[in-house]
Amino acid sequence: MFDMNSRFPYGMRARRGNRSTFRGIPTLDEYARPFEDAGFEIVRKDTLGWVPHSAKGLGFWATRAASPLLGRLLPSRAMRSLVIARKTA
């Protein structure tokens, strides 16, 4: 499963009273919970990617150039959430 990270700092309005979480976007743990509840083993749960697919112009080039550094310094703020799970026997 691969979807938007609720901690990504750009592009959506924050919930009232909670500036770190976006309205309607689950946290990484909330994305993983249904898989765990269904009996899947979580192999990897992570965030990745700093270049928004809709980025244009200077913003695109600046973010693309900074992606490796941002990925190391602020991985929890990356754009996408990733959950890799496998069904246990």
The reported pLDDT for the residue numbered 84 is: 94
Q: What is the pLDDT of residues 70-89, one digit of tens each?
A: 888 988 888 888 999 999 87
The reported pLDDT for the residue numbered 76 is: 84
Sites in the chain below the pLDDT cut of 70: 1-2, 9-23, 52-55, 59
The reported pLDDT for the residue numbered 77 is: 83
Question: What residues contact residue 7 under an 8 Å CB cut-off, 6+ apart?
Answer: 20, 21, 27, 47, 76, 77
The reported pLDDT for the residue numbered 29 is: 92
Question: What residues contact residue 66 under an 8 Å CB cut-off, 6+ apart?
Answer: 50
The reported pLDDT for the residue numbered 68 is: 85
Question: Can you give the residue ranges of every domain in the chain?
Answer: 2-87
Q: Is 38 exposed, middle or buried (0-12, 13-18, 19+ CB in 10 A)?
A: exposed
